[in-house]
Amino acid sequence: MNTLSEAQQRILAFIHDYVETHGVPPTIREIQHGVGLSSTSMVSYHLRALERAQRLSRYARRSRGVVLREVHPSSEIVNVPLVGQIVASAPAPTPDADALAAAEHVIPIARNLVSTTKGLYALEVRGDSMIDALIHDGDIVILRRVESADEVKNGDLVAVFLTDRNESTLKRIYREGRRLKLKPENPTLQPFYVDAQHARILGRVECVIRRVS
């Protein structure tokens, strides 16, 4: 690291420690405060220099888009394709391999946040039906596609596509005979029931990335 400036060395160390602690990369403003730089423009200047030195990569238009090139295995970064939103009254079919490969944006997360990297994809949450599960409007949910409904247990957080309504929703799921109970996590909203034949589970939530205020 002797070819880097003192500020750039502090930035690399801060990013590494932040990922170890929080599981996601820091924002530019968090780097500014954590390292003690005078402005976010100074952070951007040093990040560009670190990119040229091939010490990190950055993803455009993502607030947490900084990824170290060299990280300890315990903080290995996984890039999860962001393929759309999960909102009421909007179809969100399970993305196939081509859709995942063609995703324009990715969400970098720590490998230790998820049980497996297979079949992961990300959706941006719209709405406030899951606020008591600490999932708010604008948050990102990391989901894993499921091969069979048997992989989902009662109480799991899942994205479900309701084929008869042409709607998608993020809810806790419970099986009750031939029906599914879809439970919001908001005291102002009531659970509702759907015929299991008209519900397709798109994925199970592995972790949540909070919206940057």
Tell me the catalytic residues. Answer: 129, 171
Q: Which amino acid is at 106?
A: V
Q: How distant, in Å, are the alpha carbons of 13, 87, 116, 122 from that of 125?
A: 31, 7, 22, 10
Distance CA 70, CA 4 (A): 15
Task: Specify the DSSP class assigned to residue 151.
Answer: G
In one-letter notation, the amino acid at residue 164 is: D
> Around Cβ 177, how many Cβ atoms within 10 Å?
6
Return d(Cα 16, Cα 12) in angstroms, integer. 6
Would you state the structure tokens that stand for residue 193, as one six-digit string? 């029931």
